[in-house]
Each structure stands twice: as structure tokens, then as C-alpha cells.
Amino acid sequence: MSKAIPEPVTRLIDALSALPGIGPKTASRLTYFLLRAPDKLSQNLSEALRDLKARTRLCSVCYNITVDDPCPICADERRDKRTIAVVEEPLDALALERTGVFQGVYHVLHGAISPVQGIGPDDLKIRELVQRAQGDVLEVIIATNPGMEGDATAMYIHRELQRKGLKLTRLARGLPTGGDLEYVDSVTLLRALQGRNLMG
């Protein structure tokens, strides 16, 4: 960067540029916006970022992001603990929650199998899912994203769980191939959830 730009400005531009979906131009615009904004906005942003790392953790049951352990969904006695929806990321669980229909619980894998990126089954929370499915679980809904990586992950989970006598289902294919659950509208996601298919 130019020497005409002060070092703290450059540092923030570089930090923002490292975020997904934010290029150098957007990072520069955000940085200069914050420079002109009231001090309170920068202070709130700083405190929110600090709290994000200091106060959040993974739920010891479902591995979703939470402040309290277990998370509010796992702790809710009204939820059907016998039905688990397996999702790749926390935002996918949020997308299913927005339908207002699913009353089971979640299991967050934190990714999908991707040999290209060097992500294998041991890098995900699959072993924990298999252990969890040994309890009173009746159905596992494999809600990985449609596409090569999501399908590979779904098939691996299916192989690991099929011997346990569980009902294994996959979301129906009203979902766009290659799309992520977090971007799908609630109506499409609701139809996919209701039309899920038995695996195997």
C-alpha cells in the first residue's frame, strides 16, 4: 500500500480484506467509513469482536456455536431429541430454524469432506455424531448442502450409520445443486425438509 496511507488504516484494510466476500475496495470503503463514523460505532464494533471470541464456544452436544453449554436448542425439553438434522455449518442450522417447522435437534459438522482442500472425515464432527446416534435417536436427517462435497459427506455418514437401524433421510432435491442452505429461501427449504427421502 501507499506510504501516504497511515499504518493503522492499512492494517484495518488488510484485516477486513481477509474476510470472505470482502475485497480490497470494500475493505477500504469500510475503513474510511469507520474513520468518519462516531467513536461509539468503532467502540461497539471492537467490543462485539472481542466478545465474539471470548464468550462463544461449541455446544458439547450438537457442536453449534453457543454462549451457554448445552445450547438453548439442546437444553429445550420440548425439542424432539430422537430426530437429528445433520448440517455442515451453524448458519445451515439457523436456516432450518427459520422454517419454524423442524422441532428436532441439530448436529453441526463444521464443514464437508473435500479431498481437494485436504478435509477428511476425521476433520469433521462425524465421530461425535456416530456416538450420539447410539442413544434414543430414531431418525437422522442428513441436511448437507447439495453438490459434490455435501453428497460425499452424506454418503460417508450414511455408511457409518446404516448398521444402527436408524431411519436415514436426506433433504429433497428442491434445493439448487451447488447452493448453500444459508442462502435458500424458507419456502424452498421447508419443501425440501418435508419431502426428505430415505437413504439407501
Q: Taking the alpha carbons of 121, 131, 146, 65 in that order, is the dihedral positive or negative?
A: negative
Nearest Cα to Cα of residue 55 among 46, 65, 40, 44? 65
What's the structural domain count of the chain? 2
Asked whether residue 186 is assigned to any structural domain, the reply reads yes
Asked if 41 and 104 sit in the same domain, the reply is no
Least Cα distance to 157 among 132, 191, 181 occurs for 132
pLDDT reported for residue 192 = 75
Q: Are residues 37 and 94 in the same domain?
A: no
Q: 86 with 14, same domain?
A: no
On whether both 168 and 81 belong to a single domain, the answer is yes
Grouping H, G, I as helix, E, B as strand and the rest as coil, residue 198 is strand
Q: Is the pTM of this model over 0.85?
A: no
What is the rounded distance in angstroms from the CA atom of residue 105 to the CA atom of residue 64?
11
Say yes or no: 151 and 193 in one domain. yes
Tell me the CA distances in angstroms from 139 to 6, 7, 51, 161, 173, one per residue in order.
57, 55, 36, 10, 19
Domain encompassing residue 167:
77-198
Provide the 10 A C-beta neighbour count for residue 96: 25
Q: Write the CATH number for 45.
A: 1.10.8.420
| Domain membership flag for residue 154 | yes
Residue 95 and residue 48 share a domain: no
**Do 31 and 115 belong together in one domain?**
no
User: Where is 66: in which H helix or E strand?
Assistant: strand 65-66
CATH number for the domain spanning 157: value is: 3.40.1360.10
Answer whether 132's CB lies under 8 Å from 103's CB. no
* Same domain as 141, residue 49: no
The three cell numbers of residue 60 are 458439547
Whether pLDDT at 8 is above 90: yes
96, 26: one domain? no
The rounded mean pLDDT for the chain is 91
pLDDT of the residue at 157: 97
For position 121, what pLDDT does the model report?
97
Task: Please check whether residue 113 lies inside any domain of the structure.
Answer: yes
Residue 72, C-alpha cell as written in the block: 438453548
Do 84 and 166 belong together in one domain? yes
Collapsed DSSP state (helix, strand, coil) of residue 114: strand
Q: What is the pLDDT of residues 137-169, one digit of tens each?
A: 999 999 999 888 999 999 999 999 998 889 999
